[in-house]
Structure 1
Amino acid sequence: MTVKVGTKAPNLHISTWVQGRSTNIDQEKGNVVIVEVFQVNCPGCFMYGIPEAITLYDKYKESGLTVLGMATAFEDYDKNTLENLQKLLATGEVIGETHKALSMYGQLRDGKLPYKIPFPVAMDILKKENGQITESKIMDVIEANVPDFRAYSEKDKQVLVERVKMYLKGKEYSAKTFEEYAMRGTPTSLVIDKRGNLRYNLFGATGQLESIIEELLKE
């Protein structure tokens, strides 16, 4: 079952804490929590998502905000690895499309990130796929991402089913937290209130995060 906004936020599925203290959502009740979900090979994550999370961490960490980073992988499995995450956190070294984009926009210093991530960072659990594409798997993907699928015409339903089949054929791993929270991509910000309920699941750079945090801190 995927997690819906307004319901209790389950703990993150963590393979290892790469940086900072080991914690989880059930240990952070009483605080507002941002889980900033990213991939190592994701330019937007390092241009927008993570810098915004760092700004909020610095501004509100003494006011009841917890920020956690979670690296995941739903594509580019050869680049979005634990080893590349460890290198990133230890040295600031970025790879692949992230390096290319940040270089193009002058956002690297001596080829590395000009900032350090100050909050705890974990790696999502990745489970190797068995290669079997079942109707159940196809429908799980569709129901998590296309809530109005049943209203589609039969022709459009079939087109979508074929697209999902192609996606599953190229899928080497399932990322447990990413899939349980039905994320659409990275960067994603999961926002959890002081009672441990998922209040927002924000994909991309929305510009809404600070105002949301300020409201939730008042509750």
Structure 2
Amino acid sequence: MDNTYHPLAPDWQVQQWFNTPAPLTLPSLRGKVIVLESFQMLCPGCVSHGLPQAIRVHAAFPREQVAVIGLHTVFEHPDVMTPAALQAFLHEYRIPFPVGVDQPAPRGPIPMTMRAYAMQGTPTLTLIDRQGRVRQQHFGQISDLVLGAQLGALLNEAPVAAGEASPFAGCTDDGCATPEPAGAAR
């Protein structure tokens, strides 16, 4: 198991969801590996590579193990890439997985979730482990082979059973406490 500290994934700040009956949260997906595909519908790399790859992952992996989530994170042409236009795009391109619309920032062009994840642009693929921690982030294209290997590694990590101590048990969003040596008094 990888005992390296990985930060908890920031909460998604989504203004609207598509292809799901209820809003999704990171805690509701714990126990699954999450593939977060961040895109813009007018981004050529997103349309030609990122979204088709996310569709392939969605089709190839069991839903109870891997959740593919789209994030429409618009920092260019927000007056054109509206939620209504996105709805038509998702239908036309037959996007089967849930897609959230990233919350616009109060100031500046970078939406809230995109900013929280420090994304460089679109497409960005983020892998979140079963514990809700960011493990990989790729800006631009990543080969299916590399992505498959990374997903396989995350899926092969032993899930933490209910009541079992996690190697990250002392970690919160604020930091990580060091584990006590065996027999040490507090």
Q: Give the TM interval when normalised to the shorter protein.
A: 0.7 to 0.9
1:86 equivalent to 2:87? Answer yes
**Secondary structure in 2 aligned to 1:127?**
coil
2:153 maps to 215
1:6 maps to 6
2:120 maps to 184
Q: State the 1:214 CA deviation.
A: 1.0
> What letter matches 1:215 in structure 2?
A
Identity %: 33
- Post-superposition, which runs of at least 4 consecutive aligned residues in structure 1 deviate over 3 A? none
State whether residues 38 and 187 of structure 1, in contact with CA within 8 Å, keep that contact through their aligned partners in structure 2. yes
Which of structures 1 and 2 has the larger relative contact order (alpha carbons within 8 angstroms, sep 6+)?
1
CA–CA distance in 2 between the matches of 1:27 and 1:39?
25
Q: State the 1:89 CA deviation.
A: 1.9
2:141 maps to 205
Q: State the 1:62 CA deviation.
A: 4.2
Q: State the 1:119 CA deviation.
A: 0.6
CA–CA distance in 2 between the matches of 1:124 and 1:196?
19
> What letter matches 2:84 in structure 1?
E
> What letter matches 2:151 in structure 1?
I
State whether residues 72 and 80 of structure 1, in contact with CA within 8 Å, keep that contact through their aligned partners in structure 2. no
State whether residues 128 and 174 of structure 1, in contact with CA within 8 Å, keep that contact through their aligned partners in structure 2. no
* Structure 1 vs Structure 2 CA RMSD: 1.6
CA–CA distance in 1 between the matches of 2:37 and 2:155?
18
Q: State the 1:78 CA deviation.
A: 2.4
Q: State the 1:63 CA deviation.
A: 5.7
Q: State the 1:18 CA deviation.
A: 2.1
- After TM superposition, the structure 1 = structure 2 runs for residues 33-182 of structure 1, keeping only pairs within 5 Å, are 33-62=34-63, 64-90=65-91, 92=92, 113=93, 116-129=94-107, 171=108, 173-182=109-118
CA–CA distance in 1 between the matches of 2:59 and 2:120?
27
CA–CA distance in 2 between the matches of 1:23 and 1:29?
11
Please report the TM-score for the alignment, with normalisation by the length of structure 2: 0.75
Q: Gaps (5+ residues) in structure 2?
A: 158-186
**Secondary structure in 1 aligned to 2:105?**
strand
State whether residues 41 and 79 of structure 1, in contact with CA within 8 Å, keep that contact through their aligned partners in structure 2. no
CA–CA distance in 1 between the matches of 2:19 and 2:63?
20
> What letter matches 2:89 in structure 1?
L
CA–CA distance in 2 between the matches of 1:200 and 1:61?
20
> What letter matches 1:73 in structure 2?
V
CA–CA distance in 1 between the matches of 2:147 and 2:137?
11
TM-superposition CA deviations, 1:68-120 (whole Å, max 9, x none): 01101111222222121112123x1xxxxxxxxxxxxxxxxxxxx4xx11111
State whether residues 33 and 67 of structure 1, in contact with CA within 8 Å, keep that contact through their aligned partners in structure 2. yes
> What letter matches 2:152 in structure 1?
E
Query: Which structure has the highest helix share of the two?
Result: 1
CA–CA distance in 1 between the matches of 2:83 and 2:63?
30
1:20 maps to 20
Please report the TM-score for the alignment, with normalisation by the length of structure 1: 0.65
CA–CA distance in 2 between the matches of 1:179 and 1:6?
18
CA–CA distance in 2 between the matches of 1:209 and 1:11?
23
State whether residues 192 and 200 of structure 1, in contact with CA within 8 Å, keep that contact through their aligned partners in structure 2. yes
> What letter matches 2:101 in structure 1?
M
